[in-house]
Amino acid sequence: MAHVVQALDQPSNYKDSQSRVDRQKQNELLANSTTLYVGNLSFYTTEEQIYEVFSKCANPEDGGGIKRIIMGLDRNTRTPCGFCFVEYYTHAEALASMRYVSGTKLDERIIRCDLDLGYKEGRQFGRGKSGGQVRDEHRQDYDPGRGGWGAQAQKAEIERRRQVEERYLDAQEGPGAVAGGGGDWKEMEGATEGKLKRGRSPDDEGENSRLGQRTRTEEDLEAERM
């Protein structure tokens, strides 16, 4: 119903400021995007909480589902820094999340979703000077869910912090650091063949090489809404 109201699943002015793809190409990518950028997360929110909420928009009977979740991490400390990417198998699921989930609470914070061009290596890390997201560099308010914790913070949250701090200590950089989530169904060869084949779908690889992606991770740029 585009006449009477604006649909909630339209792309916003969110963009990946480091993307080297031209505007027209970006629009094409967004029109088929299966990936969401999710912002304003608490640092404590786990991938399983994210999975639980975003699986409500999945269409498994249509070949969909949650392909993978990529937690945004502080570049230096490797701890969650308040954003993530949720990648589905189908575009319709990403749109459904825009309509139904964006603007509702996850872990008691109002989260914001935006259609994303698609995850590229390096984008899992914060781009702020001190490793986290840029918005947390300049933020003045006290936000217990985003690192603004101290005496007032609940004991329970300190315990949760301990757990999250450990969780991603093993996070890697470089190709293959982030799992693909499993590709389309394929005819199985003999099961005991010792082929070391990765589960990424061929489409993923094609897309990577086509876009010739490059990132400038040290630059203080931001993937967030301006």
> Residue 69 to residues 46, 48, 158, 191, 201: CA-CA distances in angstroms?
10, 9, 24, 28, 16
Between 129 and 198, whose beta carbon lies closer to another protein? 198
Q: How far, in Å, CA of 86 to CA of 68, rounded? A: 6
Between 100 and 137, whose beta carbon lies closer to another protein? 100
Give me the least distance between CB of 28 and another protein, in Å please: 13
Nearest to 119 by CA among 9, 16, 14: 16
Give me the least distance between CB of 165 and another protein, in Å please: 11
Residue 82 neighbours by CB under 8 Å, 6+ apart: 39, 40, 41, 42, 43, 72, 132, 133, 136, 146
Q: How far, in Å, CA of 82 to CA of 43, rounded? A: 5
Between 4 and 151, whose beta carbon lies closer to another protein? 4
DSSP 65: -
Give me the least distance between CB of 136 and another protein, in Å please: 21
Nearest to 118 by CA among 223, 10, 44, 219: 223
The residue assigned the tokens 């199985």 is 188
* Cα dihedral across residues 183, 188, 189, 191: positive or negative: positive
Between 91 and 137, whose beta carbon lies closer to another protein? 91
Give me the least distance between CB of 147 and another protein, in Å please: 18
Between 64 and 128, whose beta carbon lies closer to another protein? 64
Give me the least distance between CB of 84 and another protein, in Å please: 10
